[in-house]
Amino acid sequence: MTQTPLVEQSRHDDILVLTIQNPPVNAFSPGVPEGLKAGLSAAAADEGIAAVVIIGGGRTFVAGADIKTFGLPREQAPDLRGTVQQLDAFPKPTVAALHGTALGGGLELALACAYRVAVPGARLGLPEVKLGVLPGAGGTGRLPRVVGVQKALDMMLSGTPIPATEARELGLVDELIEGDLLEGAVAFARRVAGQRPIPRVSERSVQGATPELFAAAREAIQKSHRGQLSPALIVDLVELAATRPFEEGWQAEAQKFMEARESPQSRGLRHIFFAERESAKIPGLGKDTPLLNIRAVGVIGAGTMGGGIAMNFLNAGLPVTIVETSQEALDRGLSVLRRNYESSAKKGRLTLDEVERRMALLTPTLEMTDLGGADLIIEAVFEDMAVKKALFTRLDGLARDSAILATNTSTLDVNEIAAVTSRPEQVIGLHFFSPANVMKLLEIVRAEKTSDTVLATCMALARRIGKVGVVVGVCDGFVGNRMVHRYGEEARRLVEEGASPEAVDAAMNALGLPMGPFQMTDMAGLDIGYAIRVHRAQQRGEPEPDGWLDRIVKTGRKGQKTGGGIYDYDDTRRPRPNADMQALIEAYRAEKGVTPRTVSADEITRRLTGTLINEGARILDEGIAQRAGDIDVIYVYGYGFPAYRGGPMHSAGEQGLQRVVEDLKQYGHTPAPLLERLAREGKTFADFDRERARG
Ligand code: COA
């Protein structure tokens, strides 16, 4: 029989098994449809074959369309729809045998088979929405025909896969196979081989459709997927599936899929998908780099940050010893931590048993020497170099020789901290983002002497605790905060020129950020930024900062924690303008002789993203970030930059770098040399990443 390298054919008496061999995740790449079609044609023509089993080789069934082919013209894209059509009309029973993850095109392939069997640990889903697209090979028509409209919408709009056990209850899986999947699937195929008519999902009717349900779904996505294109297309298509013949939905789906695939939103989400995976790779660090075994963690400081950091490890089942300087602070920290867990339990995210299990892994202490058994110690104490140096000197004396000593500093020089120890190669920065148990980003600060083993261990650990770890170099603010500092400066300038803080925040909200710069400042605490500005001014020998925001801090308003800052807040924490603060800003402008002008939302977003891009380019040039993609990942996971815009550096490419350069010049900034060069050469930051990867 004809074989293609990606699909193996093997005969088990009267059953033909087609095994997809396209590691690592059996994506539907070029060669897969050809192999499947050839196998199906052979099986149709061979009277000795009674049924066909389709299975994935290696660790999984098909995990979806090959995302790398999304940029190809339609004619060159792998023909998933054609394969699905061939399966749907196939004259003999077909059985999809699922293990690992049957996602996207993989599940659509399975839905076009007559039967589906799965191992209990398999997971099934249509995650296309996460890539800004929609199921494009019959998924929007077939899934509601099997699981009903509500469940189909839930699965497609969340993109979250369901376990095979649930799929079995829903009828999405016909049988769970406990033992060997292939053996079980072949036995199942033999049992159904003679059954006629062959069941076809496309011939079923849709259950559970009501106009109210679609109206509710449309309303819900306004909140859950604000500003996004593909969720609305998914709802339209499921409605079509529920109200019109299958064929009509099938045709519409093809067209909508292309519309979504070609959208800037899908380009942005695909960029982040690959950038996230790329960020896990560190040039020069082989896969065989030895890792340290982290079995116990120490955290110094039980404040908001320390408590949040500790929770990450407790959640992953690692014991944590947490140290404070006073019993009162320790008790307060512990009760906050417990309250956090209990509120998760109330929301049904954790059982009370699980809360107790996690709390039992926590050892509170006032004795630093209790950290002697920890394999990793993270300090989250006051942001002061002298304090940190004293602490690291002490840690060096009491920690086990192999222990990693980490600082959660967000601004200080990790090299300087490492230098006070006798083991600078064991010192690293682990910069968590607040709230540390929620935000997915972890900046992993590689100091001059940090060893490869320590770095690789921390990358692996990030994954273990569910974080996206991105390696950054040492500089003031590392990547994220260094950029946000420039962004904050520009936001304050915009207000000085005439924009209201509400207008600045609203423009960034409209761009898709959950919080604008001033909402963020009020949440973080105005005194924090003020202290940094004072510190910088002192370092540079400049006078004390006295901008309009500094004057607000001096009135005693420090943000949400004091009930108000730039804005006032009600019980629901919704910001409202404060008349006194507006007057303060107006007085400031008058004092500086500024005649306020109208600033458009477009100018606000261009200037603010422009400053992010410009500082990002400097960071990249200095090698503080390895790739532009890393910066995007940092901004999406640490600062709420909308993933569907692909992060600031990707968004620069969408606008055109030349335009970013022109904007910067127009508003009085000097474009970074790297940005200017790329713009001149008509390139993007993705081109730069490729150049750097090639060396
Ligand atoms: N197309 C192309 N490449 C894919 C892919 C796809 N659909 N899914 C995964 N890959 C690649 C990844 O880029 C990665 O490549 P790398 O090793 O060169 O970095 C590799 O496969 C492994 O993926 P990774 O995510 O690191 O492995 P995992 O075991 O943590 O997760 C999945 C596996 C399948 C759950 C995850 O990759 C995933 O969610 N993929 C996307 C599925 C999807 O959205 N399908 C619908 C497409 S429309």
Could you give the angle at the alpha carbon of 266 between the alpha carbons of 262 and 267, nearest 5°? 80
pLDDT of 119 above 50: yes
Cβ count near 216 (within 10 Å):
13
Query: Does the 297-472 domain belong in CATH 3.40.50.720?
Result: yes
Predicted pLDDT at 443? 97
Q: Give the CATH number of domain 480-592.
A: 1.10.1040.50
pLDDT of 369 above 90: yes
| 504, HSE (Cβ side, Cα atoms, 13 Å) | 27
641 falls in which pLDDT band (50, 70, 90)?
very high
Residues with CB under 6 A from ligand 1: 24-25, 27, 63-68, 101, 103-104, 127-128, 131, 133, 274, 277
542 classed as catalytic: no
Distance CA 142, CA 205 (A): 10
73 falls in which pLDDT band (50, 70, 90)?
confident
Whose C-alpha lies nearest to ligand 1, atom 34?
A: 63
379 classed as catalytic: no
pLDDT tens sequence across 271-326: 999 999 999 999 889 889 999 999 999 999 999 899 999 999 999 999 999 999 99
pLDDT of 562 above 90: no
DSSP states along 1-17: ---BTTEEEEEETTEEE
Mean pLDDT across 56-80: 93
Distance 439 CA to ligand 1 centre (A): 22
Predicted pLDDT at 384? 87
Work out which ligand 1 atom sits closest to the CA atom of 133. 48
Mean pLDDT across 673-686: 98
Predicted pLDDT at 529? 87
pLDDT of 175 above 70: yes
Predicted pLDDT at 1? 44
pLDDT of 116 above 50: yes
Q: Of 575, 572, 573, 580, whose CA–CA distance to 554 is shortest?
A: 580
- Is it true that 7-262 and 297-472 share their CATH fold? no
- The structural domains of the chain, with segments of one domain joined by +, span 7-262, 297-472, 480-592, 601-694
Whose C-alpha lies nearest to ligand 1, atom 13?
A: 274
Query: Does the 601-694 domain belong in CATH 1.10.1040.50?
Result: yes
pLDDT of 6 above 50: yes
Cβ count near 486 (within 10 Å):
20
Predicted pLDDT at 387? 94
Mean pLDDT across 168-183: 98
Residues 6+ apart with CB under 8 A from 74: 258
What is the topology classification, in CATH, of domain 7-262? 2-enoyl-CoA Hydratase; Chain A, domain 1 (3.90.226)
Distance 25 CA to ligand 1 centre (A): 6
Distance 598 CA to ligand 1 centre (A): 47
Q: What pairs with residue 116 in β-bridges?
A: 96
Dihedral of alpha carbons 367, 310, 464, 121, sign: positive
Q: What pairs with residue 19 in β-bridges?
A: 8, 55
Least confident among 355-369, 498-512, 570-584: 570-584
Retrieve residue 160's tokens.
């979250």
Work out which ligand 1 atom sits closest to the CA atom of 70. 48
pLDDT of 3 above 70: no
pLDDT of 2 above 70: no
Distance 69 CA to ligand 1 centre (A): 13
pLDDT tens sequence across 186-242: 999 999 999 999 999 999 999 889 999 999 999 999 999 999 999 999 999 999 999
Residue of 47, 128, 276, 654 with catalytic role: 128
Predicted pLDDT at 4? 61
Mean pLDDT across 418-431: 98
